[in-house]
Amino acid sequence: MNKMEKSLSAKIDLETIQNKNELLERFTFPKIFLNSGNLTLPDVSIECATDLGIIYEALQKNSSIPSSFISEVLVPMFDSTGKLHPGFLTGAFTLWGYPPECLRIDYKFPWSDRHFIGSYSRVFLNIQFEDGSVSQNCDYRYNQFIGIDYCVPKSCGDDQQMITLMKSIIKVSGENGTSHSPVCNAENLDDQKYELKYQGYIVIVFMGIILGIGILAALVDYFLLPEDSINRKIPSIQLFLSFSLYQNIKEIFHVGSSNKQGQIGPIHCIRFFSICWVVLGHSFSLASSFLNNVLDLMLIIKQLPTQFLVNAYFSVDSFFFISGVLLAFIWFKEFKKDKRKVMSVQGWVLFYVHRIARLTPPYYIAVVFYTYVFHSMTSNMPVYLIQGIDEASPVLYCQRNWWTNFLFINNLVHWKEQCFGQGWYVATDMQMFIFSPLLLISLSIHPLAGIGVASALFFGSSAANIFTLYKNHYPASPYVTGPIDPMWEEDPDDLRSYQLLMYDAVWIRCQIYIMGILVGYLLQMKPKMKINKYPEDGLQIYLKPILKELVKKEVPEQDQFKII
């Protein structure tokens, strides 16, 4: 059991859960606001203290507060605040509330012009109810937290004031009769709001223009220009019709040309399963961050049938392999047609220009859309209220470091603050493409020269891989619920350096790309090559019983990680 599992399951037994239930009941609405009567003004703002005083007064017997305040404010606040629910033993550590009901609260006081407005926050408590003023107890890398959703007055809603307020209200008894607050942090939905700036409107207008041209071109393509029209041969018309949504969608869904001569049929199969693998792997890993039964998940991922999910990182390698295969296959196809043209200065300039012209438009649009538009669409989403994660960080990272994506160096420069995290793959693939002529030229000179260069690069990458792995005590993959070297486990922050030095590193990931280039070369230059029968039969005899035993073997649950 590694540190993540220990942090989730430590001290969670029947006695502990009973004690925690009793404590958590004290922290729910309305009991928590009954404690607010002991607050002094220096703890919170005057407006917040005023609203808390009104709530406190409304909760008393024979209160002079209008009954409309109770029905329109207190009842929705109570109903929308998170409550203890079943499943705490399985990791249900977030007491979810209901934001829309809370955010609809807007009550005008009869005796003044002030409005009482609802605000939705999540307060994070150390799961062992240890002192939240000790920074180590609130480090999200080493601790698990209980998240309680509260509907509070908007005057109290900003993060810092909410922390101050809850630290003042939520207290537990410690040793020697002293008391402390287990509150570590608070996150407010209002802080998620990202208002569109002029850059966002520029992106929207630009994308709208492209969409408009695509629709207009589709109408012309389908209704106005016959298929045999001579006007379709005019270059300007061809350029315009290239935006046609009708034609582009038609070509995307047309699969008749996938098996035509000169194409690599199995590539489509590899690509399909790789896409499914990527989607499943990301869905699994992202969902695990928000599940309320995460301890059940820990048991499931130890079973052999789920290893294709926790090892979904290899789906990236299959895409690198495809990239290398297609690069070599297409390049050597042109090489066979005209060696001089392909090997000329102009040929190599076009080699890079074609790649950049084909890749950059959609990628750049995706980056600027993510930077300036996407985050305005993720407001009022409590699923993003996570301890240790600053919801403003992706926006700031992109506004500062978008240029690293445009230059395809985001996996190397400012890598701790990457914009558009998925872009690491594009950067790594581009960097491998830039240096691919080392292999292409050597293979074009002589196959043995190419194999020699490929072997040198491959073994150099392997040496760097082994050295980095052992020097830093890295795990086999970034999926940290697997086996972990105890020396690495003491500093989980090294997972970020793992991303730089192992997972995103072009000098590590290039191995499968090199294999792809060699396969692409053989498919183009040696299409009729036959494998010697005797080595092939020998490998089958050797591997079949091993694969058979791996499939049949039943592995005890506690040992299942050992075979990964």
Query: Each residue of 142-173: b (16+ CB within 10 Å) or e?
Result: ebbbbbbbbbbbbbbbbeebbbbbbbbbbbbe
Q: Is residue 287 part of a domain?
A: no
pLDDT average, residue stretch 281-297: 78
* Together in a domain, 96 and 151: yes
| Integer Cα distance of 317 and 465 in angstroms | 15
> Tokens 């890295």 sit at which residue?
474
| Integer Cα distance of 507 and 513 in angstroms | 11
Is 388 in contact with 140 (CB distance < 8 Å)? yes
Q: What is the pLDDT of residue 83?
A: 84
* Together in a domain, 244 and 342: no
pLDDT average, residue stretch 446-461: 94
Residue 167 or residue 546, greater confidence: 167
* Together in a domain, 159 and 89: yes
Is 88 in contact with 18 (CB distance < 8 Å)? no
pLDDT average, residue stretch 191-201: 84
Q: Is residue 553 part of a domain?
A: no
Residue 101 has pLDDT above 80, yes or no: yes
Query: What is the span of the domain harbouring residue 85?
Result: 3-192
Residue 395 has pLDDT above 50, yes or no: yes
Residue 494 has pLDDT above 80, yes or no: no
Q: What is the pLDDT of residue 488?
A: 66
Two structure tokens written together for 304: 């052999």
| Integer Cα distance of 122 and 380 in angstroms | 12
Residue 560 has pLDDT above 50, yes or no: no
| Positive/negative CA dihedral, 45, 47, 52, 53 | positive
* Together in a domain, 432 and 479: yes
Q: Which residues contact 203 (CB under 8 A, 6 or more apart)?
A: 365, 368, 369, 372, 373
Q: Is residue 294 part of a domain?
A: no
Q: How many domains does the chain have?
A: 3
Q: Is residue 547 part of a domain?
A: no
Work out the pLDDT band at 552, boundaries 50, 70, 90: very low
Two structure tokens written together for 111: 């005796």
Is 140 in contact with 124 (CB distance < 8 Å)? no
| pLDDT, tens digit, 9 for 90 and up, residues 359-390 | 999 999 999 999 899 888 877 788 878 766 65
Q: What is the pLDDT of residue 562?
A: 40
> Phi, psi (5° rounding) for residue 33?
-80, -20
Q: What is the pLDDT of residue 3?
A: 46
Is 266 in contact with 519 (CB distance < 8 Å)? no
Residue 9 or residue 449, greater confidence: 449
Residue 382 or residue 125, greater confidence: 125
DSSP-assigned letter for residue 187: E
Q: Is residue 273 part of a domain?
A: no
Work out the pLDDT band at 48, boundaries 50, 70, 90: confident
Q: Is residue 46 part of a domain?
A: yes
**153 SS3 class:** strand
Pairing of strands 94-95, 145-153: parallel
Q: Is residue 557 part of a domain?
A: no
Residue 20 has pLDDT above 60, yes or no: no
Two structure tokens written together for 294: 């995460």
The amino acid sitting at 260 is K
Mean pLDDT of the chain: 82
Q: What is the pLDDT of residue 535?
A: 76
Q: What is the pLDDT of residue 298?
A: 76
Q: What is the pLDDT of residue 31?
A: 59
Work out the pLDDT band at 33, boundaries 50, 70, 90: low
Is 237 in contact with 231 (CB distance < 8 Å)? yes
| Positive/negative CA dihedral, 529, 533, 535, 538 | positive
| Integer Cα distance of 84 and 34 in angstroms | 19
* Together in a domain, 147 and 224: no
* Together in a domain, 182 and 207: no
Residue 522 or residue 547, greater confidence: 522
| Integer Cα distance of 484 and 479 in angstroms | 10
When mean pLDDT is compared across 130-139, 153-162, 239-248, 281-290, the lowest value belongs to 281-290
Q: Which residues contact 464 (CB under 8 A, 6 or more apart)?
A: 507, 508
**Smallest Cα–Cα separation from 150: which of 168, 138, 139, 163?**
163
pLDDT average, residue stretch 282-303: 77
Residue 89 has pLDDT above 80, yes or no: no
Q: What is the pLDDT of residue 554?
A: 42
* Together in a domain, 234 and 157: no
* Together in a domain, 198 and 74: no
| Integer Cα distance of 524 and 146 in angstroms | 59
> Tokens 């390049």 sit at which residue?
331
When mean pLDDT is compared across 9-23, 93-107, 357-371, 542-556, the lowest value belongs to 9-23
Pairing of strands 106-108, 145-153: unpaired
Instruction: Kindly report the number of other CB atoms within 10 A of residue 393's CB atom.
Output: 10
Question: Alpha helix (H) ranges present in 109-178?
Answer: 159-169
* Together in a domain, 102 and 177: yes
**493 SS3 class:** coil
**Burial of 126 per CB tally in 10 Å (0-12, 13-18, 19+):** buried
Q: What is the pLDDT of residue 37?
A: 54
Two structure tokens written together for 398: 């992109």
Q: Is residue 135 part of a domain?
A: yes
pLDDT average, residue stretch 274-287: 86
* Together in a domain, 174 and 213: no
| Integer Cα distance of 174 and 137 in angstroms | 14
What are the beta bridge partners of residue 17? none
* Together in a domain, 471 and 336: yes
Q: What is the pLDDT of residue 9?
A: 45
* Together in a domain, 339 and 452: yes
